[in-house]
Structure 1
Amino acid sequence: MATYSIAELAREFDITARAIRFYEDQGLLSPMREGQGGRNRVYTARDRTRLKLTLRGKRLGLTLSEIKSIMDMYESPKDTVAQINRFLGVLAKQRETLEQQRADIEVALAEITAHEEECRRLLAESAQGSASKAA
């Protein structure tokens, strides 16, 4: 069975060991403990996959609790259809949030464009007024 150290996972996924320990504290990872007093964390292929899925979920904008809920669903031998429907619900909610953010960004960009155009117009008028006075 392949195992990984915290340093190996941190390097592979380009995150800090502290972030991995945080995900562990949130219940997303559960490494084995080895060494004196259980100081050394040993991550399995399952932990590596869960870390990968956690980072993917974060990129999608899901909260850690949503990510944990989805991953935990797939580990229980319950109805797969219900699990998939729940996941679709989470994705639909996230899509709605992102679509609203995109609309908000479009409005903000339009306002910036209008302000830029107004500033350029004022600068052009100012330059024309200065040129007229100089002539």
Structure 2
Amino acid sequence: MTARKEAKVKTHGKERPVPSEQFAQGLATRREVMGDAYVDAALGKATDFTWPMQQLVTEYCWNEIWNRPGLDRRARSILNLGMISVLNRPHELKGHVRGAINNGLTKEEIQEIFLQVAIYAGVPAGIDSFRNAQEVFNEMGI
């Protein structure tokens, strides 16, 4: 039996087997970028209804996309901050601000991304992005 088949994921009141090697690889990447606490909280909230989405995100987003060659994690974080800001998804933005810091971006670089967002996507998007990032920086003590 492989380590993957023995591994379990804790979700809302259940332990689930790791469903695939792609999930295991994506989970490792997700933890490296977002941090264990964030990932454990996301998976811990997964119900029978939401579990398929967690599986999709972990296998497709975090394994198939984040582990592709061509862009390093730092570059992917820069792209995500800009796109998520424009989409006005504050919960995801906060998680990816933390991930960007984990991937080596500085507060100053994140600031520049959000200034660019303000010009190309609108000042309200930029303002909200700054507010959300500041909350994360405060939580992280930086």
Q: Report the TM-score when normalising by structure 1.
A: 0.31
Q: Report the TM-score when normalising by structure 2.
A: 0.30
Greater Rg over alpha carbons, structure: 1
Higher relative contact order (CA 8 A, sep 6+): 2
